[in-house]
Amino acid sequence: MKILLLGGTGLVGKQVLLSLLFYPQIKKVIVWARHFENSAKPNLPIEVIRATWEDFQSGKVSVPEGIDAVFCCLGTTIGKAGSQEKFREIDFDYPLLAARQAKEKKIPGFYIITAMGSDPNSSIFYNRVKGELEWELKTLKFPFLGIFRPSLLIGDREEFRIGEKIGEVMGNFIPFGILGLQKYKPIQAAYVAKAMIHSLLKDQPSDGSLPVVKIYENDVLWEIGKDHSF
């Protein structure tokens, strides 16, 4: 399989790339990045396309032919983006542009991280943008569309985020499972990455006659992440 990885330098994207090292079915990963240090092992060929998203918007680079799946791990925060408009550009415009190109090139699978609570009718701007993106992706009718809705993501980031550190502490001390709140429990980025690869390798429909949309909520991501059997 050949995979196009978008957001390969982010928290989950890095884990996706690292996890792919363990699956011989993956023959090549193409990563778009402005800056990227290739430390992968020789058994996983990685092609790095050094480009900006402005290059993508202008048509200087595009989704390549012959890809089996696109993994979209793009995402930011309004604080980091600097404005709601810039946040929407990164979290809505870029993924949708990539998805439309992938559909035009008949790529069978599109796998994307959105967020718990994604809803196009939400009063919360962040959740509304994520929900609008999901709705647009569904209209493209990929043979397989995997949507992953994690709770608060935790892991090693280059930048410090106080909210995530608080969430990590809460995750260690609050018995979410006992309280019936598993779907809200902060989740390791590595678990989400594993769930995306699990979906690629295990959850494909038996026949490609009808488009399939599968949504993975946070509690499901936890269960897949904890399972080491595949």
Q: At residue 33, does pLDDT exceed 50?
A: yes
pLDDT of residue 48: 86
Q: What is the pLDDT of residues 38-69, one digit of tens each?
A: 555 555 688 888 888 888 888 888 999 999 99
pLDDT of residue 135: 98
* Comparison of pLDDT for 99 and 79, the residue scoring more: 99
| Mean pLDDT of the 137-143 span | 96
| Mean pLDDT of the 143-151 span | 96
User: What is the secondary structure of 92-158 as a DSSP string?
Assistant: IIHHHHHHHHHHHTT-SEEEEE--TT--TT-SSHHHHHHHHHHHHHHHH--SEEEEEE-SSEES--S
pLDDT of residue 228: 59
Q: What is the pLDDT of residues 70-97, one digit of tens each?
A: 999 998 888 888 999 999 999 999 999 9
Q: CA angle 212-218-222, nearest 5°?
A: 105
The C-alpha atoms of residue 98 and residue 118 are separated, in whole angstroms, by 20
Q: What is the DSSP letter of 172?
A: H
Provide the pairing of β-strand 2-6 with 69-72. Answer: parallel
Q: What is the pLDDT of residues 182-192, one digit of tens each?
A: 677 899 999 99
pLDDT of residue 58: 87
Q: At residue 166, does pLDDT exceed 90?
A: no
The C-alpha atoms of residue 109 and residue 165 are separated, in whole angstroms, by 33
Q: Enter the pTM of the model.
A: 0.86
pLDDT of residue 160: 43
| Contact between 195 and 186 (Cβ < 8 Å) | no
* Comparison of pLDDT for 178 and 19, the residue scoring more: 19
Q: What is the pLDDT of residues 102-135, one digit of tens each?
A: 999 999 999 999 999 999 999 999 999 999 999 9
Share of the chain above pLDDT 90, in %: 57
Averaged pLDDT of the chain: 85
pLDDT of residue 51: 81
pLDDT of residue 109: 95
